[in-house]
């Protein structure tokens, strides 16, 4: 079927760029606001500042042999409807050569509401799979050997619970926990700023995150219990430099919390990972990753005394696409994603997710999801750019731009420090307000054509029919099926056992010395629901009060 | 970086509620529109995240707004818009104009407009056009 026109034809059609010249103003400054000279020459590069690949300060990457040792993980974000439907899509993606699963969860699961909650009903299965209790997780991973794949969950407010559920599924499959690999996002700080799936106030949320990380270090040593994410603030309006600065600042807040709860930096720091968007300013993105990697290593070594190189490593995954993708002329998005993927590879990413071309306006179809996967495979196996580590290292311009990017990141981090740190900046709504202003600036720059977006503010086609033909349709029966299954679990589980495990969870929540993870795993095994566990914790901790000040 | 222009204020004297119904937490679009409408002269009230349709309708009535802008990116717009419209009618406020933003597939636009939505304003639309459409709709009483 064909989509009707989605974008009305009002909006500027600017001829300045179309005239075949680059506006000097566009050429002289990067999208992060870094001046870019038309030619850069440096008489002598500083070898100590750059370092060798695999050596401190890791500007050139955390591995001496780059991708020769191990290619990045190709991981597509997917999940919708019921566990049965997502399970089928996962098996399809694994058959196509995908090397890791990435699980999208629906909003009720992310916000800690059961399908029966009045606010949940319209959202069941919409932006991800509904996962209200262990029986759904058993279906989701049915026939998939958890010891042989790595699974990434985009989950934050209820991350500890979903992680507990994953452990419970592994227990039931008979897979030793030590063999599990994967990631939970588990980064609540950026939820308060940009993504919005917070539940509890900031401080108890920090405890829950520290508990899950410390527990994971012992129980699942190959699992990443946090992925500190800049992606969402980036998509909301932050520049590349701000994205990295906010993320490193959040990372430092987690390190402080982990140390306060008795964590050993040499141990937990090895399992911290990061997550970013890649947008279209090619060298800003490459410089962002190189500068961030160097800064993090220096912070871990100099501020926290981490000696083991692995505890200084800045490991990160990326998404290519996001808000850089647009609805008009949607096939252009394939090119955007390809350019962004190359920036991610040249920046040294450990894991890459490529958005589908129609992701800007709908759930990707099987066709568009496959094309996104092929884009990565093509860059990995045909282009040859992954052969040698950090092929841009030592380039006059790239090293110069990396240095300027680093200065800018440090400057933003200093501004947050001057305000009183990220936690205070979030509780006051300062960071949220700053981001909203940035979002407005970016939108104005796009509206005016100052920031070129091909097909949107330049090179538009008048009367374009927007659409890619096929539209993915979610089965309208999903909500009812999820509700029916949920009710069956409530009817068949052993209620006294559920009550007892929930009561123990409540007691543990009031005692700051307890690690909550074993209690959550017990609750999951008893088929307690996500909503029940969250309700227990809310009773003890209350809810975050969103500062609504524009 | 565009300097805030000393623009005309086509929405002067208007009261507009920007609401986030449902569980969707992506609020940057809602905030950008709220700041833009304020620059255009409107008095803007923002609900914050995770409001039920009943809560939004009640605030709209209590604050006596001329229009409600709803931002929904989770794909639940059809259900949530229907509910907000019903809650407004229940409170005798069926004449309050509804604007919708977010991730709204084009094929859903006709149905939403037929239900009573005044305009669907998605992210590709320039902010100037958003203001112009609101101003035009508000000048045309329903």
Could you report the predicted ipTM of this complex, rounded to two decimals?
A: 0.91
Q: Edge to edge, what strands does the sheet with A150-153 contain?
A: A223-224, A181-184, A150-153, A100-103, A73-78, A351-354, A315-320, A272-278, A226-229
Per-residue tokens: B44: 């803007």
Neighbours of A370 (CB within 10 A): 16
Where chain B has pLDDT below 50, the residues are 1-3
The burial of A142, by beta-carbon neighbours within 10 Å (0-12 exposed, 13-18 middle, 19 or more buried), is given as middle
The secondary structure of residue A333, as a DSSP letter, is: H
Q: Which residues contact A181 (CB under 8 A, 6 or more apart)?
A: A149, A150, A151, A222, A223
The number of domains in chain B is 1
Q: Which residue of A has its CA nearest to B75?
A: A126
- Looking at the domain assignment, is residue B5 inside a domain? no
Whether B127 is covered by a domain: the verdict is: yes
Q: State the DSSP code for A100.
A: E
Range of the domain at B102: 15-138
In this complex, the residue of B28, B36, B44 whose CB is nearest that of residue A237 is B28
B25 closest CB neighbour out of A196, A474, A550? A196
Q: Which residues pair with B68 in a beta bridge?
A: B17, B98
Q: Is A546–B49 a contact, with Cβ atoms under 8 angstroms apart?
A: yes
Q: What is the pLDDT of residue A486?
A: 97
Residues A390 and A289: beta-carbon distance below 8 Å: no
Q: What is the CATH number of the domain that holds B31?
A: 3.40.50.280
Residue A2 is predicted with a pLDDT of: 32
Report the alpha-carbon angle A89-A220-A354, nearest 5.
Answer: 35
Residue in B with minimal Cα distance to A12 = B126
Chain A residues in contact with B109 by the CB 8 A cut-off are: 4, 6
| A196 with B31: Cβ contact below 8 A | no
Angle, CA A457 vertex, CA A456 and CA A461 arms, to 5°: 60
Query: What's the pLDDT at A365?
Result: 83
Give the whole-angstrom CA distance, residue A317 versus residue A229.
9
Tokens of A251: 């990372």
Q: How far is CA A432 from CA A140, A195, A229, A233, B22, in A?
A: 35, 11, 15, 9, 20
Residue with tokens 């030619």: A39
- Residue B51 within any structural domain of the chain: yes
Q: Is the peptide bond before A470 cis (omega within 30 degrees of 0)?
A: no
Cα separation, A504 vs A514, whole angstroms? 11
Task: Determine whether the interchain pair A123/B22 forms a contact, defined as Cβ–Cβ distance below 8 Å.
Answer: yes
Is residue B79 in a domain?
yes
> What local confidence, expressed as pLDDT, does residue A20 receive?
47
Low-confidence ranges of chain A (pLDDT < 70): 1-27, 78-80, 463-473
Predicted structure pTM score: 0.92
- Pick the closest to residue B72 from B133, B26, B125 (CA basis): B26
In-domain check, residue B87:
yes
Domains of chain A, start order:
25-448 (3.20.20.240)
Q: Does residue B2 lie within any of the structural domains?
A: no
Q: Is residue B1 part of a domain?
A: no
Residue B64 inside a domain? The answer is yes
Cα A357 to Cα B12: distance, rounded to the nearest angstrom: 40
User: Which chain A residue has the Cα nearest residue B38?
Assistant: A550
Contacts with B26 from chain A: Cβ below 8 Å? 194-196, 236
């Amino acid at each position: 079927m064909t989509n009707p026109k989605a974008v009305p034809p009002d909006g500027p059609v600017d001829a300045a760029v179309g005239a075949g010249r680059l506006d000097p103003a566009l050429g002289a400054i990067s999208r992060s606001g870094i001046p870019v000279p038309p030619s850069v020459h440096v008489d002598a590069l500083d070898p100590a500042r750059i370092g060798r690949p695999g050596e401190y300060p890791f500007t050139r990457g955390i591995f001496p042999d780059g991708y020769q040792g191990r290619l990045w993980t190709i991981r597509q974000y997917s999940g919708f409807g019921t566990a049965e439907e997502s399970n089928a899509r996962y098996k399809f993606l694994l058959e196509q050569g995908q090397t890791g699963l990435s699980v999208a969860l629906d909003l009720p699961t992310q916000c800690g509401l059961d399908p029966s909650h009045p606010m949940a009903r319209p959202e069941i299965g919409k932006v991800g799979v509904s996962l209200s209790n262990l029986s759904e997780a058993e279906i989701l991973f049915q026939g998939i050997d958890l010891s042989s794949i790595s699974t990434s969950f985009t989950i934050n407010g209820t991350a500890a619970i979903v992680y507990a559920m994953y452990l419970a599924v592994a227990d039931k499959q008979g897979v030793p926990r030590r063999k599990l690999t994967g990631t939970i996002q588990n980064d609540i700080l950026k939820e308060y700023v940009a993504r919005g799936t917070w539940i509890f106030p900031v401080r108890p949320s920090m405890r829950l995150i520290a508990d899950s990380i410390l527990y994971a270090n012992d129980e699942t040593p190959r699992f990443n219990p946090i992925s500190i994410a800049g992606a969402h603030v980036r998509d909301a309006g932050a520049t590349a430099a701000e994205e990295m600065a906010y993320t490193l600042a959040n990372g430092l807040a987690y390190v402080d919390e982990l140390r306060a709860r008795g964590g050993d930096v040499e141990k937990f720091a090895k399992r911290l990972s990061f997550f970013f968007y890649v947008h279209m300013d090619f060298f800003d993105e490459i410089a962002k990753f190189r500068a961030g990697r160097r800064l993090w290593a220096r912070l871990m070594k100099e501020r926290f005394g981490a000696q083991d190189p692995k505890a200084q490593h800045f490991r990160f995954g990326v998404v290519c696409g996001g808000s850089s993708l647009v609805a008009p002329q949607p096939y252009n998005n394939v090119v955007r994603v390809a350019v962004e993927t190359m920036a991610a590879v040249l920046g040294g990413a450990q894991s890459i997710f490529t958005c589908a071309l129609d992701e800007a306006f709908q759930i990707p179809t099987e066709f568009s999801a496959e094309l996104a996967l092929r884009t990565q495979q093509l860059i990995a196996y045909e282009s040859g750019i992954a052969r040698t580590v950090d092929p841009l290292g030592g380039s006059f311009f790239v090293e110069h731009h990396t240095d300027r990017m680093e200065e800018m990141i440090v400057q933003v981090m200093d501004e947050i420090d001057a305000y009183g740190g990220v936690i205070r900046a979030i509780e006051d709504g300062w960071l949220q307000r700053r981001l909203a202003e940035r979002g407005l600036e970016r939108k104005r720059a796009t509206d005016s054509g100052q920031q070129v977006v091909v097909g949107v503010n330049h090179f538009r086609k008048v009367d374009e029919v927007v659409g890619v033909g096929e539209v993915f349709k979610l089965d309208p029966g999903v909500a009812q099926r999820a509700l029916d299954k949920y009710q069956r679990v409530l009817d068949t589980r052993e209620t006294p056992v559920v009550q007892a495990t929930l009561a123990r969870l409540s007691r543990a929540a009031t005692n700051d010395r307890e690690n909550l993870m074993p209690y959550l795993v017990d609750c999951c095994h008893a088929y307690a629901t996500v909503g029940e566990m969250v309700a227990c914790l809310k009773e003890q901790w209350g809810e975050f009060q969103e500062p609504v000040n524009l | 970086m565009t300097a805030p222009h000393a623009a005309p204020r086509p929405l002067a004297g208007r009261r507009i509620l920007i609401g986030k119904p449902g569980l969707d937490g992506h609020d940057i679009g809602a905030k950008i529109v709220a700041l833009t409408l304020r620059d255009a002269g409107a008095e803007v009230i923002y609900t914050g995240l995770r409001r039920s349709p009943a809560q939004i309708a009640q605030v709209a009535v209590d604050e006596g707004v001329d229009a409600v802008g709803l931002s929904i990116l989770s794909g639940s717009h059809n259900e949530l818009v229907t509910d907000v419209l019903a809650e407004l009618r229940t409170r005798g406020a069926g004449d309050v104009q509804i604007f919708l933003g977010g991730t709204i597939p084009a094929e859903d636009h006709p149905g939403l407009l037929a239900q009573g939505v005044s305009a669907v304003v998605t992210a590709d639309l320039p902010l100037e056009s958003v203001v112009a459409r609101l101003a035009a709709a508000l000048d045309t009483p329903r």
